[in-house]
Chains A and B, each alone.
Chain A
Amino acid sequence: MLRVENCRKVYDEQTVLEHCSLELASGSILGLIGINGAGKSTLLHCISGAIPVDEGTITWKEQPVLDHPEVKQKIFLVQDEPVFAQTENARELIEYLSLFYPALESELFYDLLSQLKLNPKQPFSAFSKGMKRQVLMAAGLAAHPELLLIDEVFDGLDPFARRLLQGQLAAQTVEEGMSSILTSHRLSDLENFCDEYALLDKKRILHQNSMFQTQKELVKVHLAFDHPINPAMFQDLELLKLEIHSRMAQAILRGDHDEVEAKLRKQNPVILEIFDCTLEEIFLAQLEKREELQ
C-alpha cells in the first residue's frame, strides 16, 4: 500500500506541495488530476524516490522509498518527457533496465514492441515522441512493478497503442495486483479506466475518492420551469455548480440521487433529468466551488 503523509516539497523557494497526503491500495488504479502546475509530476517524482521531499514521509508497504533500492525496484516511473539515459535503442534500454529490475521480463517487452510494430534495434533518434513513450510504457509494464507511475498517461499515443497498453495495464492490475497512478490532461482517458481519482490543487490533495463513490455522491441535473428560476430555490441543496438560463438550469449537486430528486420535485419543474457526472465535470465543479469560496 502506498502512503504519502503530510509531504512538503519546495523548488527554488517556491512551495509546490504542502500538507499533501495520499493513500493507494494494492491492485488499484488512481487517476491524479489537477490544473497545469498543480504539482502532479512533482508528486510522482517524489513517490518514485527520484527526489526527496522536504517534509513528510512516503512509504510503500510500510517501507520508505527514498534511498531504499529494494523498495524502488518495485516502483517504475514513466515520465512525460521520454528519457533514455546512455542507451541508443530499445534493446539497449531493456538490457540497461534489467540491471536494476530483477522482475523485468524481456520477452514481454519484445512482444509488446512487436505488437506496437516498433523495431528494438532502431535508434531512438529516429522515433517520434509518441513512439518513445510507447517504448517506455512497454518497458515499465515489462518490469512488472508493484507500483507503476505514468505521467500524462496516454499523451501522444495513437488509438491502437493506447488500447494495447491500456489492456496490458489492466491485465497486470488484475492478475498481479499491480497498482498504478496515472496523470492526464485528457480526463476522459482516466474516467473509464481508474478505480479512483485524486484532485491535486492548492499544493495538496483536495479530494480523493473512488469513481463509483464520487458518481454516487455527485448529481448532475437538467431542470426546466414554466417561470423564471430564482437561485434561492436551491438553498437547501449543496451546490457545486449552477448555470441558469432564464427558465432552464443545469446544476451539479452533492448528495444522494433520490434525496436530491425528491427535493427538486417539490419545486414542480417541467423537466427534471438526472445524470452521472463525468470526471471532467467533477473536476471543473470542484475547482469552481473552490474559487467561489475564496
Chain B
Amino acid sequence: MIHKKLLTAMLKKDFKLFLCLLLLDLLIMPFVYVNFPTMMDDASLLFNFYFIYLLLLIIILIRRQLGFTMKREEKIHDYQLPLTKRSLILTRLTAGILVFLIPYLIAWLIMGILMLDRHATVISIWNGTVQLMLAMMIYLCFCAWVFLRSRKSFQAMLTIAVWTLAPVFIVSASVDIMRGTVTYRYQLREFFTLLHDFGCLPGLFTLAAKGLICDSTFPSLGSCLLVDGVYLAAALPAVYQVTKNSAENEHKTLKQSALFKLMPLASAAGVMIWGSLTAVRPQQCLLSVILAAVLYLLIRFLSYSKIQFNKMMLLVLTVEFLVVQGIFWSWRVSGGWGMTHHTTVEDVYFITYYDGLGKIGSYYKYFNVENTVSLSKEDKEILIQAQVETDKRYRRQGLKDAVGMIQIIYRTHDDKYSYYLPYYADIMEPAIELLEEQDVPISTYLRVDYPGWENYFYLQGLSIKLF
C-alpha cells in the first residue's frame, strides 16, 4: 500500500523541514506555556491559536504532500507513475503526517508533561493525545476527500472553510442565545455543548484540549471515542473510495457530492434554527427567513460562481423554518414537553441557588438570596410564585420587557433541577421586596459587567472559552 522507496526519499528530502517544524512547535507550545503560565488561567486564546495553527498545518500538508493539483498535466504525470493512485496518495500522506504532524504531537505531549504540576495528570495527557490523534485523522480524511474531489482550488478551500467554521459559528451563536436569553437552559445545555464539541470538526480538537486540562471529565473519553469512531467509520471508507483509480471516481466532482450540495442548505438551516429559537415577533421570523435565504444564495454563489435563485429551495427553507418555529413555539406554550417540573412548595427540599441580574439604567443589579436552606414555607411560596408568573409571562410574550436573568437551582427529595428565567422587573422586584419584609437575607449590589459569564466552564480556577 505504501511505496517504501518513495516514502524514504520524501522523508530524506523533508528532514530539515521536520526539524524546523519541531523547533517551531516546541517554541509555540511548551515555550509559551512555560514562559506565560498565567495564560492558562484563561486558556481560550492559547488553545484556539494552537488549533487554528493545526488546521493550517493539515491544509498545507494536504496541498503539499498529497500533490494536490488542479492542473490536468500534473495529475497525469503523477498517476502514470508505476504505482497505484491509492499507493501514491497514501505514501505522500504518510510522509506528510510524519513531517508535519509528528512535531505537533511531540510538542503537545511535552506541553502536557510540563503542565503535570499544575493542571494535567498522566491520564489526562494520554486522553488528550488520543483525542488529538483521532481528531487529526478525521480532519485529514475530510480535507483529503474534499481536495481529491475538487476541480477548483477555491472551491476546495471554500468547502473546508464553510464546513469547518460555519457549524462553529452557528452552534456558538445558538449556545450564546440559549444561555443569554432563553429559559429552560439547563435541559438544552448538554445538548448544545455536545453539539458544539462533536457537531463541528474543530470541536473535536477542543475535546483534546479538554481531555488534557480537564482530565477528560467532560465529556467522558468513552463517549468521545465512540463519536470519533462514528466519524472515522464514515471518513475512512470515503477516502478509500476516493483514492480508487476508477472511471466513476474520476467523473465524480465535489459539486456532485451530497455534502457539497447540502452546504448552502445546511448553513441556511442553521440560521433558521437560530431564528426559531429566538424569534418572538413576526418581524423577527421574517428577518430569519431573509437572512437564511441570503446566506443560502451567498454560499451558492461563491461555490458555483453564479446565483441560482431556486424558488423551490426557498420554499423548502421557509417551510422548514415554520416547522422548526412551530415545534419551538409548541414547546414554549406546553411548558417544554415535560422537560420542566411543576414545582410546589412541598416538593422543594431546599433551594441551593437563587440569584439574578436585572438591568437598572446602564448597570445591572445583582441580587442573591442567601441561606436558602432556612427559608420558610412562605418564603419558598413567594419565590415559586414569582417563578410561575415569570414562566407564564415568557410563554406569552417571550423576552419582551425582560431586562436580565435569574438562575434558580432546586433540590427536591429525589432530584435536582435548575431554571434560567427572564428578569421581568415588575414581577421580580415586588417578590424581592416581599422577601425582604419576611427578613430573608438578600444581598444586592450593582455590577457593570455583562452577564455573559455563562460562556465559560470552570475547573479548578481554569476557564476556557472555546471558539
Contacts and interface: CB of A to CB of B under 8 A. Distances in A.
A170 B435 CA distance: 106
A81 interface: yes
Given A83-B73, A99-B6, A48 B67 contact: no
A75 B71 CA distance: 22
Interface residues of B, number: 26
Would you call the interface of chain B mostly helix, strand, loop, or mixed? Answer: helix
Given A85-B67, A100-B83, A77 B76 contact: yes
A52 B83 contact: no
Given A81-B73, A99-B5, A50 B247 contact: no
A164 B12 CA distance: 35
Interface stretch (A66-74, A220-228, A244-252, A283-291): A66-74
A174 B201 CA distance: 59
B82 A83 contact: no
Interface string A50-70: 111110000000000011011
Contacts of A230: none
B247 A73 contact: no
B70 to A, nearest CB: 13
B76 A45 contact: yes
Interface in B4-46: 5-6, 9
B79 A83 contact: no
Contact of A72 (B67, B80, B251): B80
B78 A73 contact: no
Contact of B250 (A49, A52, A85): A52
B363 to A, nearest CB: 63
B327 to A, nearest CB: 42
B302 to A, nearest CB: 21
Contacts of B246: 52
A21 interface: no
Contacts of B85: 67
Given A67-B84, A67-B245, A100-B82, A10 B251 contact: yes
Nearest to A54: B247
Given A54-B247, A85-B67, A96-B9, A79 B81 contact: no
B67 A86 contact: yes
A105 B81 CA distance: 17
A77 B80 CA distance: 7
A101 interface: yes
A101 B6 CA distance: 12
Contacts of A81: 73
Contacts of A85: 67, 74, 77-78
Interface residues of A, number: 31
Given A10-B251, A81-B73, A52 B245 contact: yes
A48 B77 CA distance: 10
Nearest to A66: B245
Interface string A30-53: 000000000000000100111111
B251 A79 contact: no
Interface string B142-168: 000000000000000000000000000
B73 A51 contact: no
Interface in B43-85: 67, 71, 73-85
Contacts of B3: 99
A158 B158 CA distance: 45
B79 A51 contact: yes
Interface of B: 3, 5-6, 9, 67, 71, 73-85, 87, 245-247, 249-251
Given A48-B80, A67-B84, A100-B81, 11 more contacts: A49-B79, A50-B76, A51-B76, A66-B245, A69-B87, A70-B82, A79-B76, A83-B73, A85-B78, A86-B67, A96-B9
